[in-house]
Amino acid sequence: MLGYTIKRLLLLIPVFLAVSVVIFSIIHLIPGDPVDNLLRVGSGPEQRAIIEARYGLDRPLPVQYAIWLGKVLTGDLGTAIVGQRPVIDLVGQALPYSLALGASALLFSTVVGITVGVIAALKQGTWVDQTLMGGVLLGSTVPGFWLGLLLILLFAVQLGWFPVSGARGWTSLVLPVLTIGLGGMALVARITRVSMIEAAQRDFVMLLHAKGMHPMRIQLRHVLRHALIPVVTILALRIGWVLGGAVTVEVVFARPGLGTLLIKALNQHDYPVVQACLLMLAMAVMLGTLLGDIVQAAMDPRVRAAIA
């Protein structure tokens, strides 16, 4: 298991390098001079010189990349154009909010999604199944930010149960988690249902029935366990989607997380912040996927064998 984890970690290095090249290139791919893009409008020649020296902009591109990567790896993410604060501080402030939201949303989608999927599978073909799956379809087709706005209108404005926006206390977490969670839950529920139904047709299930085991016990102890493997696979693949959802939803609820920071920076053309946020989010996706893979390997020895 440890060997597997180390191997997967090593496999992340080339991915990280590839992603960092893309994010590094942003500053050179956007129209205009990279120095101008890194400066506030109206900056004097001395600031220009500082930027040029700092990023080594007169050197060949691969050298520039190496300088940039070296700085990033030592935690130096540059200075924000708007506000002139070190980017690492901005990111450091925002990160905990995003992590709290992402983790809670993931937990919510997993627990609720599996529960809904199991109930739908047990009641397959009945109105319970159809209602649940209809609701799930609705949950996965509604734009996340819009769902968030509706929840604000209903629960925060009309009923006054939760705060409209901000990030004070756990109550401010409820509506954002619900917003992201409903989309993620839909995916988990659909896969759980299908894979429960498929697993229930296996021979070993028939044997358990023939042995006279209680049907409910068969479903929950044996079929569900079997059915969870594809669910974990998909969850591992799609952890990034939950984080992606966090980006949009943070903006709606004005949570001071990475998503809000990124969108603000994009609108203000604050490229050092944009690069840092994208890098952080990409790393979160990579680590999330890694975590999912490790859980999957822990659950299913076949996966471990495949890569070892």
Partner 1 sequence: MTSTVAPPSIRHSRLGQIAVIRALFTVKGAIAGGWILALVLVAVFAPYLTSYGYDIQNLPNAFSPPDATHWLGTDEFGRDVLTRMMYGARTSLTVSSVAIGISVFIGMVLGAAAGYFGGRFDRAVTVVVDLTWSFPEILVALILVAIIGPGVTGTMAAIAVAYLAQFTRLTRAQIMAIKNETYVEAARSLGASHTHILFRHLIPNALAPVLVSAMLATGDAIILEATLGFFGLGAQPPTPSWGGMMSSGTALMFRAPWIIIIPGLAVAITVIAINLYGDALIRALDLRNRMREG
First to last CA, the chain: 9
Q: 21 vs 220, which CB is nearer to partner 1?
A: 21
Computed on alpha carbons and rounded to an integer, the radius of gyration of the chain in Å comes to 24
Tell me how far apart the alpha carbons of residues 55 and 51 are, in angstroms, rounded to a whole number: 6
Examine residue 19 and tell whether it contacts partner 1 (CB under 8 A). yes
Unique residue bearing structure tokens 């969850």:
235
Spell out the SS3 assignment of 77-117. CCECCCCCCEHHHHHHHHHHHHHHHHHHHHHHHHHHHHHHH
Q: Which is nearer to partner 1, 97 or 271 (CB)?
A: 271
**78 or 245: CB nearest partner 1:** 245
Based on the shown chain and the rule CB under 8 A, indicate whether residue 176 belongs to the binding site for partner 1.
no
Q: What is the DSSP letter of 269?
A: T
Do residues 49 and 301 make contact, with C-beta atoms less than 8 angstroms apart? no
Q: What's the burial of 259, exposed, middle or buried (CB within 10 Å: 0-12/13-18/19+)?
A: buried
Please tell me the distance from the alpha carbon of residue 85 to that of residue 79, in angstroms, as a whole number: 6
Rule CB under 8 A: say whether 91 interacts with partner 1. Answer: no
Question: Of the ranges 60-68, 84-92, 188-196, 282-290, which one interacts with partner 1 (CB under 8 A)?
Answer: 282-290
Rule CB under 8 A: say whether 81 interacts with partner 1. no
Single out the residue of 285, 294, 297, 303 in contact with partner 1 (rule: CB under 8 A): 285
Cβ atoms of 260 and 246 closer than 8 Å: no
Q: Which of 24, 108, 162, 271 binds partner 1 (CB under 8 A)?
A: 271
x-marked contacts with partner 1 along 26-45 as a string, rule CB under 8 A: x--xxx--------------
Q: Judged by CB under 8 A, does residue 263 bind partner 1?
A: yes
Query: What residue ranges bind partner 1 (CB under 8 A)?
Result: 15, 18-19, 22-23, 25-26, 29-31, 137-138, 141-146, 149-150, 152-153, 157, 237, 240-241, 243-245, 247-248, 251-252, 262-263, 266-267, 271, 274, 278, 281-282, 285-286, 289
